[in-house]
Structure 1
Amino acid sequence: MSSEQFLTNLYDEYIEHPHLLSSDQAGWDKVGLVYELEPKGEMPEAFTSSHILIVCQGDFQASFQINGQWHHEQYTQGDIALFVAGELFPRVKTDREVPLIDLFLSPDILIDAVGEIAPPKIQLQSHFRLRDPLIQQMALALKTELEIAGEDSKLYADSMATALSAHLLRRYAVKNSVIKEYKGGLPTYQLKLIIEYIQTHLDQDLTLTKLANLVQISPHYFASLFKQSTGTSPHKYITKCRLEKAKNLLRHRESAIAFICQEVGFKNQSHFTRVFRQYFQITPKAYRDLF
């Protein structure tokens, strides 16, 4: 079930509310994001197959019904609620309209983050209210990336989902799951394989999982070793490769910029232009006009 479907089912026949932004149309598959205006009112209880992180963007009070009793929480901007997959999402009342960022994570990605063939049983602890600046920063960064990049945000979302999963395991597992710290980077032959694959598939959807599968390790393990080997994250490395290829094509081809944008793996031309200017302090058109 997608994040949009879950919230639609949760609110069905109860209250209408606007979803201002959703990752469902951007093809994210490791983490889901919905930015919504939570209305004043009441929601029914429901079960969810995903871990849910709710990052508050304003002040409000929520009342949760637990075992027939109402539990009250006062939230301020930056407060976070964590509801664990497979547990009951309780009946809840809110005292006013408030913007929220909702993040949805599949339990499977937490297993991947452990990086073991036979990982131990993983269980997170639900929290009605907590403060965690890193989760807050990740939620805001994902929202911004989705707003700016749209369909081009998938690789960034994959990378953030992997990092978020490792953080949740370290901080909120019932029994501290061991997230191994890997040292030394990728072996030379594996790094060569990955770089060659990236360079020859820049026009395709390069996901963290796809790259990790090439060397048969977990995405979390791969991201850590790749950064040790190259000094940068897979997402930043791929973006730089795409932009360098775009510069070469702009110098030597008469193709339309929209075509070059797609040839180097950007689906959104305005996002391509924005990122190109961010890296090189010049737009693609202005760069081409230099030659």
Structure 2
Amino acid sequence: MSPEKAIILDFAETDAMKSILPNTSILSSHGANWEGIHVEYHRQPPNESPEHYLQQHSIGIIFSSAIGGVALNGKRYGSQPCQSGEMFIAAAGTDFQSHAVEEHEFMAIALDPTEFDNTVGESTNSNLIEIIPHWPITDPLIFGIAWALKTELESGGLNGTLYVDALKNALSMHILHHYFTQKPHLRDFECGLDPVKLQIVINYINDYLNRDLHIAELAKLVQISPYYFSRLFKKSIGVTPHQYVTQCRIEKAKQLLKRQDLSIIYISQQVGFHDQSHFSKTFCKLVGLTPKKYRDQL
């Protein structure tokens, strides 16, 4: 079916899958300030979806055993027992249809094609390669990333956007390595970031510790792809961007705790934690004391 006639499934829209499935999602990344990746977790009764056109690169992962099948670009795969961990991978532009004869749980992950290209762009010298559709497959790394994303949604986003960005970038590079028509030509970086560029990033991080940061915005400061930025940053600093930002937040919190007039919940917000409990646990993990005990010893 042509895109003009098929239902266009755009995961950038809230509750996108309600047009093809009986129930709304149990978990969704909409409203979570995630960039370039959309995630939904579903529990659905037996159903057959209408044919639809995938707007994003998509991964569907079975989380409970059931009997069902899919059709990719008109190629139908008959009903068969589907086990937890089995999945499909399909490129944006794929015509897709699914059916299940039992209640089932699954996760849908959608990667924005433009963001995907920005992430992996420095890993290939061709814009003619494409994702090969796969079903059914098992991939422990993808399943592990999916589980981490599900846990992050269930926690209300405690680990933050830099953590999700790292998962998204790892997922994108893994797909590039294993599910493309051509193998990428990886660039080799012996050194880390240029010291001047590194300082620009560090200054930016310290200026905006109180809000969610994204790897893409940090990478844009030095005009390289998010994936290679993360690699070069870790080579320069010794830790990932997410770990470094967490360390900076705790160091700033230690300084603010010297002021007795500031409440701990206010300090947690000023250093970018949206949950005081998460702030306290992170502080204790890195410092060895809760924020209150640390303040009491000053």
TM-score (norm 1): 0.89
Check whether the contact 1:60–1:94 (CA below 8 A) recurs between aligned residues: yes
SS at 2:236's partner residue? helix
Check whether the contact 2:15–2:25 (CA below 8 A) recurs between aligned residues: no
Unaligned 5+ residue runs, structure 2?
A: 1-9
Check whether the contact 2:160–2:212 (CA below 8 A) recurs between aligned residues: no
Closer, same or farther in 2 for the Cα pair 1:118/1:70, shift >3 Å?
closer
Unaligned 5+ residue runs, structure 1?
A: none
Aligned to 2:107: 101
How far off its partner does 1:102 sit? 1.6
How far off its partner does 1:138 sit? 0.7
SS at 2:78's partner residue? strand
Closer, same or farther in 2 for the Cα pair 1:182/1:7, shift >3 Å?
farther
Describe the superposition over 1:67-119 as per-residue Cα deviations: whole angstroms up to 9, x where unpaired.
Answer: 485523432111121122111012x2212112212211011122113344975
The reply on whether 1:86 has 2:86 as its aligned counterpart is: no
Matches within 5 A, 1:53-132: 53-65=59-71, 67=74, 71-90=78-97, 92-116=98-122, 119-132=126-139
Higher helix share: 1
Letter of the structure 1 residue corresponding to residue 177 of structure 2? R
How far off its partner does 1:253 sit? 4.2
Q: Which of residues 245, 258, 278 is equivalent to 2:252? A: 245
Aligned to 1:9: 19
Query: How many matched pairs?
Result: 286
Check whether the contact 2:43–2:106 (CA below 8 A) recurs between aligned residues: yes
TM-score (norm 2): 0.87
Check whether the contact 1:3–1:33 (CA below 8 A) recurs between aligned residues: no
RMSD, aligned α-carbons: 2.2
Q: Which of residues 252, 271, 277 is equivalent to 1:264? A: 271
> Matches of 2:147 and 2:77 in 1, distance apart?
30
| Greater CA drift, 98-107 or 162-171 | 98-107
Q: Among the aligned pairs, what percent are the same residue?
A: 34
Check whether the contact 1:23–1:34 (CA below 8 A) recurs between aligned residues: yes
Describe the superposition over 1:9-47 as per-residue Cα deviations: whole angstroms up to 9, x where unpaired.
Answer: 222xxx2x2422111121112211111113222211111
Closer, same or farther in 2 for the Cα pair 1:279/1:119, shift >3 Å?
farther
Q: Which of residues 41, 52, 71 is equivalent to 1:46? A: 52
Letter of the structure 2 residue corresponding to residue 139 of structure 1? A
Check whether the contact 2:120–2:172 (CA below 8 A) recurs between aligned residues: no
The reply on whether 1:142 has 2:149 as its aligned counterpart is: yes
Closer, same or farther in 2 for the Cα pair 1:65/1:127, shift >3 Å?
closer
Check whether the contact 2:15–2:24 (CA below 8 A) recurs between aligned residues: no
Q: Which of residues 1, 26, 33 is equivalent to 2:32? A: 26
Describe the superposition over 1:49-76 as per-residue Cα deviations: whole angstroms up to 9, x where unpaired.
Answer: 1111122211112123564855234321
SS at 2:118's partner residue? helix
How far off its partner does 1:262 sit? 1.5
SS at 1:74's partner residue? strand
Letter of the structure 2 residue corresponding to residue 8 of structure 1? K
> Matches of 2:26 and 2:242 in 1, distance apart?
26
Describe the superposition over 1:258-282 as per-residue Cα deviations: whole angstroms up to 9, x where unpaired.
Answer: 2111111122323323322333343
> Matches of 1:204 and 1:235 in 2, distance apart?
13
